[in-house]
Amino acid sequence: MDFFEKLGKKATETFNSAAEKTNRIASETKLKFKINDCKSKIKDLYQDIGKIVYQKFVLDGNLEIKEDIEEQLSKISDFTKQIEEYEMQILELRDLKQCDSCKNKIDRSAKFCPECGAEQPEEPAQEVEIVDGEEEVNPENEEEENSTESVDEEASSEDNKE
Ligand SMILES: [Zn+2]
């Protein structure tokens, strides 16, 4: 009996960690998609700026363009910040973090950076910001169908955006 109990437990653990891994990969893929989206928006903004500069120069013969491109500039800053945030989330998903002093990717639990030796601040038990919130699989809810369903929903709702 004991043996079978252990076997059952083992199977559940394997399933849970596999599900967790799938979730993590899905989240990471979404984040990467969002990063690429930001990058292409930034590229478009640079293109806009180039066009504005060109037209301004050709039409007015001057390059007093600060006011004309303010909006684009601030959007580029916003998207750049957004990308950094997404990249941090990807690191968290991989149980990594960035060393404050050398910016290398290191293990989240590391007390000292293996690259530069800098002491790492105590990791506060902070909330890992999950991309859309609801995709965390409730560990007490082990119904397979349920979790698959919610993943499908997630995927299709993601498709409908934009
Ligand atoms: Zn370091």
| Contact residues for 22 (Cβ-Cβ < 8 A; gap 6+) | 151
* pLDDT digit string, tens, across residues 68-119: 899 999 999 999 999 999 999 999 999 999 998 998 999 999 999 999 999 9
Taking CA atoms, 25 is separated from 91, 126, 149, in Å, by: 12, 21, 17
Average pLDDT, the chain: 80
- Cα(116) to ligand 1 centroid in Å equals 4
Residue 126 has a pLDDT of 53
**What confidence tier does 124 reach under pLDDT thresholds 50, 70, 90?**
low
- Cα(106) to ligand 1 centroid in Å equals 8
- Cα(88) to ligand 1 centroid in Å equals 16
Secondary structure class of 128 (helix, strand, coil): coil
Residue scoring higher pLDDT (4 or 27): 27
User: What's the whole-model pTM score?
Assistant: 0.59
**What confidence tier does 56 reach under pLDDT thresholds 50, 70, 90?**
confident
Task: Tell me the domain boundaries of the chain.
Answer: 2-94+132-160
CA distance 54 to 156: 42
